[in-house]
Amino acid sequence: MENIDLQNVEKLVTGRTEQLRQAISALERSYDITLESLGNALSLKDPHTEHHCKRVTAFSISIARALGQAADQIRVTARGAFLHDIGHLATPSVILRKPNTLTSDEVKIMRTHCIHGYDLVRKIPFLAEPAEIIYAHHERLDGTGYPRGLKGEEIPLGARIVSVADAFDVITSGTPYRKAQSVQAARNEIEHWSSNQFEPRVVEAFLRIPDREWQELRDGIDAGRQLQQ
Q: What is the CATH number of the domain that holds 86?
A: 1.10.3210.10
Burial track 78-90 (b if 16+ CB lie within 10 A, e otherwise): bbbbbbbbbbbbe
- Please state which of the ranges 43-52, 57-66, 107-116, 145-154 shows the lowest mean pLDDT: 43-52
94 compared with 157, residue with greater pLDDT: 157
Q: 64-118, pLDDT tens digit by residue? A: 999 999 999 999 999 999 999 999 999 998 998 888 889 999 999 999 999 999 9
Selected residue with higher pLDDT from 183 and 39: 183
Domain assignment of residue 190, yes or no? yes
Read off the pLDDT of each residue in 13-37 and give the average, rounded to a whole number.
61
- Using the predicted structure, report yes or no on whether residue 216 has a pLDDT greater than 60: yes
Within a domain: residue 30? no
Domain count, the chain: 1
Report which listed range, 7-16, 122-131, 202-211, is most confident. 202-211
13 vs 30, more confident: 30
Q: What is the pLDDT of residue 1?
A: 41
Q: Is residue 95 part of a domain?
A: yes
What distance in Å separates the CA atoms of residue 102 and residue 177, rounded to the nearest whole number?
10
Residue 25 lies in a domain: no
Please report the pLDDT score of residue 164 as a whole number: 98
What confidence score (pLDDT) does residue 74 get? 92
Q: What pLDDT does 32 receive?
A: 74
Query: Does the structure show a pLDDT above 50 at 2?
Result: no
Output the pLDDT for position 98. Answer: 86
CA–CA distance, 112 with 96 (Å, rounded to integer): 12
Q: What is the mean pLDDT of residues 145-168?
A: 97
Q: Is the pLDDT of residue 22 over 90?
A: no
State percent of the chain over pLDDT 70.
84
Average pLDDT value for residue range 189-200: 96
Is the model more confident about 226 or about 117? 117
Angle at 53 between CA 51 and CA 56, to 5 degrees: 110
Confidence of residue 18 (pLDDT cuts 50, 70, 90): low
Handedness of CA 100, 106, 107, 111 (dihedral sign): negative
Residue 152 lies in a domain: yes
Whether residue 200 is contained in a domain is answered as yes
Is 31 within a domain?
no
Residue of 63, 42, 62 whose CA lies nearest to 53 = 42
In a domain, 35, yes or no: no
Q: Which domain holds residue 164?
A: 47-228
pLDDT of 228: 53
